[in-house]
Copies of this chain bind each other. A is one copy, B any other.
């Protein structure tokens, strides 16, 4: 029987969501059904959305975020959205509709105290034994690192924005 892995991409550097997308792509090549929940990104159209659209129902993306939390104008609205998103994540983790679930930037919920870390780790631990899960986000809590089968820290060596280069279409979104 297939063993479902828990993969964690964390750290401050770029490439966490990007690696999750690459993982999704690899799974799609094996006919996986995948659900990606984006906890920070909102429903604006990105390159990855357009490209993943060709996989139809096999690749679902829920962009539940309201933007970049740090610059929010309405923390109450964001908090409500985050709780709703976590509810969706829990349902997705117990559903039998998917072979892989991606929780993109879910660690932001922890940072802002919108969900407890034990709650997140418990639901990941109790998932179906053959379900692959990919989690991304900075500042992953210790329980998540403990629980994960594979953990990579993306460490920032050089960031284009710090060199005065604007975010490039086709690269960053």
Contacts and interface: CB of A to CB of B under 8 A. Distances in A.
Interface stretch (A63-71, A85-93, A111-119, A159-167): A159-167
B157 A152 contact: yes
Q: How many copies does the complex hold?
A: 2
A110 interface: no
Contact of A27 (B9, B47, B160): B47
Contacts of A13: 152-153
Contact of A148 (B18, B19, B55, B158): B158
Interface residues of A, number: 59
Contacts of A73: none
A81 interface: no
A23 interface: yes
Given A21-B21, A22-B18, A52-B25, A153 B155 contact: yes
Nearest to A132: B171
A28 to B, nearest CB: 4
A25 B47 contact: yes
Contacts of A47: 25-30
